[in-house]
Amino acid sequence: MRARLLDGWRAARPVPDRWPAGAAALLGVALSAPSVVAPTWVQTVGDRQRGDLLSGQSQWSWGRVELTGLTGVELGIVPNPVGLVVAVTLVVLAVAAVTVWVLARGPLLALAPIGLALLAGRLLTTSAERHGRAFHEAIASEAGLTVTNGSTTAGWLETAAAAVLVVALALMVVRLVTESAARIPAGAKGAEGAEGAEGEEPAGRHTGAVATRAGLRPKGARLSGPEVGLTDEEGR
């Protein structure tokens, strides 16, 4: 029983060579967490002459929108519970993927990049949409209003998380390819070399085969056929 427990503990130990990808993946997941609870993009409309804030709009990457008026009065909220559930689920799957990557062995290991790729794909999409809108640009309208919009701190962390997760995925793929190549038994390669050596014919045999195809007999070959006897008369 003690030996079985020891074997199970050894099998569950983290693999040191997977730590770089695992650490990068865990960092990416941690950087994406603020975007779940905080807005990633804001837009404000102010009076250019007085400097008063007239209205504001905050958006979460998973779809929630919050509108505010003068002095921060809340005008309305557009919730998106489905988007929140999807965002939280992807973060949880990513954490599970990191755990599998560090501890698992065998075919289950291939599930780690898949779980991480789901979160990375979402973050890349939302970051591209957000940065495509504006980069903290101030727009002065003809009505004397100033419109300012751009990413929040949570938004920039989300962008960084997307980049880090892409790096982690690349490290995982490289590690999987390396481990797959290492699983090929060394004896198999030796057997292939031995088969190649056994399949090669000696130079003499090869030369004889060529000579036979050319209509000639190899060196040292004896003629086959009925024996011919010589009589005394033919010898004279």
pTM of the predicted model, to two decimals? 0.69
pLDDT at 211: 46
Choose between 26 and 110: higher pLDDT. Answer: 26
pLDDT tens across 76-109, in order?
889 999 999 999 999 999 999 999 998 877 788 8
Does residue 197 carry a pLDDT above 50? Answer: no
Rounded to 5°, the CA angle 112-81-64 comes to 100
User: pLDDT-based confidence at 194, cuts 50/70/90?
Assistant: very low
Three-state secondary structure call for residue 109: helix
| φ/ψ bin of 231: left (φ > 0), alpha (ψ from -120 to 50), beta (otherwise) | beta
184: which DSSP letter? S
pLDDT tens across 44-73, in order?
888 777 767 788 899 999 999 999 887 667
pLDDT at 223: 52
Range of lowest pLDDT (97-106, 128-137, 180-189, 201-210):
201-210
pLDDT tens across 132-167, in order?
876 555 566 656 778 888 899 999 999 999 999 999
Domains within the chain, CATH numbers bracketed: 28-173 (1.20.140.150)
Does residue 207 carry a pLDDT above 80? Answer: no
